[in-house]
Structure 1
Amino acid sequence: MTHLINYLWEGAICLTLLWLFYKVFLEKKTFFAWNRAFLLCALIVALVFPALNLTGISSLNLGNEAFVMQLPQFEMNGSNQVQNTPSPFSLSNLVLGVYITGMLFTLSRFIIGIVSLMLQTRKAKAFYNGKYTILEHPTFEPSSFFHLIFLPEGALQLQQKVDWIIAHETTHADYRHSLDKLLIQVVKIVFWFYPIYRMYEKALEVLHEYQVDEKMTQTYPLQEYARLLLNLAKPKNSSLLVHNFNQFQIKKRLTMMTQPKSKWMARGMYALALPLFACLFVLISCTPNEDMPNLEAQEEEEIVITEMVMKESIFDVVEDMPSPMGGMEGWNNYLSANLEYPEAARDAQVEGTAYLVFTITDEGNVVDASILKGIGAGEEDEARKALATSLNEEALRVVRNSPDWIPGQQKGKNVNVKMRFPIRFKLN
């Protein structure tokens, strides 16, 4: 649940900062393709950057932690009870349920839109114009979706300048604007609770029209094309997935078609976006997990430990890893019955995670248990540091006194295997 919340608010931060940058520096520029690329990158960044931290990639330290096998974290609350499974009526589950409900509702609308579009194509009369399929139906307004061009019934015979409309819609298809529509739908499903996606959606729709208008006015007379837009402008709702020729923002489009183009030097503004993307990557994707030990800072000690492990024939990973008697359920039951939250530390609200390292011998004994990273590391308050030490000692005590394990095996023989185990002391 915590990972999901972190993902969502980090994605919301990306969407907000990048949108503000676009509004302040880029929106009024006539580099439509560049603006479109920036907005698409912003949407992808909001989806991807937080996900890099969602799975703990930045905290795995793949090159440095291979010598230790980590067990699932055990969490102890202030009443000496293990937090095995959250209550079905907890606040976190309520929030999760609301989020999933909203996501499923938005996803269902998207699926209904796709199905409705498919059903409409089956009812329409189809004509072929090269790689494009022109579909006529009485309920259609001039619009497009990928290679499909939608027209009202009889438009090919009666509608004036229908070739201009077809050219307009095929230009949308050539620019692959429908892919942008699908991407914004994905963002809408994930961040349904954060209405800023509507701003991205509207901005992309306008940029799509700007791009097509710019292309059309290179081929057709500007005044006649503008008159066609005005004649066909009708405030009518259409599918979220198609590009409708009768788009709103007609005034803005006409203004943009007639205003001078931005100077080439104005493209320097886009260079400012690169440091912004880099900062977001560092802040969002590369944030270290505070609960995990920073083994990178102990590179020399790791080398020494690795050499000692190899010398004493202690394996890092084996074919059959050691397991507690009774499995993880038995291990949790043992910890729940024997681990205590020191009263003084509980009263002082001292919390944290103690990381322990120990070895399961070829006979199943737990030996060489020690603290890899303890609670209170870097604590300046001596009193709280002493209380944190009592938590570390309690975690160490219960692991040292644990029952024998089923030893690990390599090629059918029992071997010594080093393990790591986090115990989290958390108050309700």
Structure 2
Amino acid sequence: MNALLTYLIEASICMAVSLVFYRLVLSELTFFAMNRAILLTMLGFSLVIPVLSVDFYPIQTMLVREVTLPEFFVGDQTQSNSSIFQLDWLKIIGSIYMIGVLYTASRLILGFFQSLNLLREAKLFFYEGQFIAVHPRFTPASFFQYILLPKFHQEDEDQQRIILHESVHVSEKHSWDLLFVQMAKIVFWFNPLIYLFENSIREIHEFQADQGVTRTYSQTEYSRLLLRLLTAGRGWQFMNNFNQFQTKKRIIMMNKTKSDRNLRSRFLWAVPVMGLLFLMFSCDLAQMDEEIEGPVQNGEQAKAMGPADLAARIKDVGSDGNEIFDVVETQPKPPGGMVGWNSYLASNLNYPAQARQMGIEGTVIVVFVVNTDGSVSDVDILRGIGGGCDEEAIRVVENSPNWEAGSQRKRLVNTRMRLPIRFKLGNAEIDTQKSSEVTLDFPEKIEVPISN
């Protein structure tokens, strides 16, 4: 879910930058074919750039910080319940997002098949190299290779202009542009930027088609036709309706003086814009102080690590022969997140009877490796206290479900983890109310209460 959220945010930033560039620099130019090409290219780049990955590390220095995860209490019924059963807002947002995706995709598919059904019911004509589909429910529009009309009269001059207009949409394959946009809308259904992109592309389509008509017919008569059909409806997502879009602006663009050819150089400005977006979201640039996120413990200092230091941190190899990392960019995640992990520990850790009888308490530090497949291996005790506590800690970690593996430079790696578990004896009258603190990877702890 985090990866999807990151992608959506980065792609949205790319779309925003692209739209601002287009609106400020290119939208008023009359190079409609080039405007169409740049809009589609920039939209495509916006969707692709966040998923590209190019490693580029000019500086081999990294600032490393040890990570401490939030405390969790086991034994206090109110506290544990609120921690274990707290709302996972990220999952709720993810569910809402997926509902929107399914709704948008369903609406798209429904619209497509409704259009096909109407085409099957329509009367088909082949007129001047064009397929004309006539149905009373149609408004003048184009749908891939078909021109859609509510009625067809070859002698009607207005209809001749409409057919010429729609034939430009067909010949330029504008429906394929709209299909591309509709597919993007499935993923970005919540984002107003994709709808602005769609409007800009539809606008360019109409400018191109109007330009094709005014090469043959009078601009004045054609403008009057647009005004007469101002109230026409709008078709499905794949259709270019004859009078769907900003009639006033279309008339202005028809009468506008053609842009100077020298202004075509503006389109080259898109190259550094897209290059900058590529560097921002596709290139991993190691800066002088690249920080691995996470709070520093009290009294600890963040330290810079060079190549030799990093090499020292990955000398060990796991059971599968691969290197084991102590420090990674993306840490392994326990099953169910920290809520699930805390619940697992609280449900499975027991205070050994031998340790309880001997009055043993203290902190056991367990080290283990989360492998690239998420399995846990190489479980060992870094520091023990005896009395069966060490064995209990090993048992619980060895039996834990698979994790989500950590990654380094977007590559899954084996990762070494530390789990301090604090065994603490409480007073007899409050034994059942003592709580445990669990932390993953420095120096969180769990207090295991004595069972009466």
Instruction: With the length of structure 2 as denominator, give the TM-score of the two structures.
Output: 0.61
SS in 2 for 1:140: coil
Q: CA deviation at 1:75?
A: 10
Work out which of the residue numbers 232, 249, 252 in structure 2 matches 1:255: 252
| Equivalent residue number for residue 71 of structure 2 | 78
- Tell me, yes or no, if structure 1 residue 246 matches structure 2 residue 243: yes
Output the amino acid matched with 1:218. R
Output the amino acid matched with 1:135. A
Q: 1:4 to 1:27 in 2, by over 3 A?
A: same
Moved more, 86-95 or 9-18: 86-95
Q: 1:168 to 1:75 in 2, by over 3 A?
A: farther
Q: Structure 2, unaligned stretches of length 5 or more?
A: 58-66, 75-83, 286-290, 295-304, 324-334, 350-366, 372-376, 384-389, 399-412, 419-439, 445-452
| Equivalent residue number for residue 124 of structure 1 | 122
| Equivalent residue number for residue 65 of structure 1 | none
- Tell me, yes or no, if structure 1 residue 177 matches structure 2 residue 174: yes
| Equivalent residue number for residue 33 of structure 1 | 33
8 Å Cα contact 2:380/2:394 also seen in 1: no
Output the amino acid matched with 1:149. I
| Equivalent residue number for residue 103 of structure 2 | 105
Q: 1:314 to 1:50 in 2, by over 3 A?
A: closer
CA distance in structure 2 between the aligned counterparts of 1:2 and 1:60, rounded to whole angstroms: 23
Q: CA deviation at 1:161?
A: 4.3
CA distance in structure 2 between the aligned counterparts of 1:139 and 1:181, rounded to whole angstroms: 21
Work out which of the residue numbers 126, 147, 150 in structure 2 matches 1:149: 147
8 Å Cα contact 1:226/1:254 also seen in 2: yes
Work out which of the residue numbers 226, 238, 242 in structure 2 matches 1:229: 226
Q: CA deviation at 1:130?
A: 7.0
CA distance in structure 2 between the aligned counterparts of 1:87 and 1:105, rounded to whole angstroms: 29
Matches within 5 A, 1:13-412: 13-52=13-52, 57=53, 77-79=70-72, 89-129=87-127, 132-153=130-151, 155-157=152-154, 159-287=156-284, 290=292, 298=307, 315-316=321-322, 366=378
CA distance in structure 1 between the aligned counterparts of 2:33 and 2:310, rounded to whole angstroms: 52
8 Å Cα contact 1:358/1:367 also seen in 2: no
Structure with greater helix percent:
1
SS in 2 for 1:156: coil
Output the amino acid matched with 2:117. L
Q: CA deviation at 1:95?
A: 1.0
CA distance in structure 1 between the aligned counterparts of 2:370 and 2:44, rounded to whole angstroms: 42
Instruction: With the length of structure 1 as denominator, give the TM-score of the two structures.
Output: 0.64
Q: 1:127 to 1:422 in 2, by over 3 A?
A: farther
CA distance in structure 1 between the aligned counterparts of 2:124 and 2:173, rounded to whole angstroms: 21
Output the amino acid matched with 2:135. H
SS in 1 for 2:182: helix
8 Å Cα contact 2:147/2:163 also seen in 1: yes
RMSD of aligned Cα (Å): 4.7
Q: Structure 1, unaligned stretches of length 5 or more?
A: 62-73, 318-327, 339-354, 360-364, 371-389, 391-397, 406-417
What is the aligned residue count?
Answer: 337
8 Å Cα contact 1:124/1:136 also seen in 2: yes
Q: 1:118 to 1:60 in 2, by over 3 A?
A: farther
Q: 1:239 to 1:261 in 2, by over 3 A?
A: same
SS in 2 for 1:193: coil
Output the amino acid matched with 1:78. E
Q: 1:181 to 1:113 in 2, by over 3 A?
A: same
Could you tell me the percent identity over the aligned residues?
33
8 Å Cα contact 1:235/1:248 also seen in 2: no
Output the amino acid matched with 2:72. S
CA distance in structure 2 between the aligned counterparts of 1:422 and 1:193, rounded to whole angstroms: 38
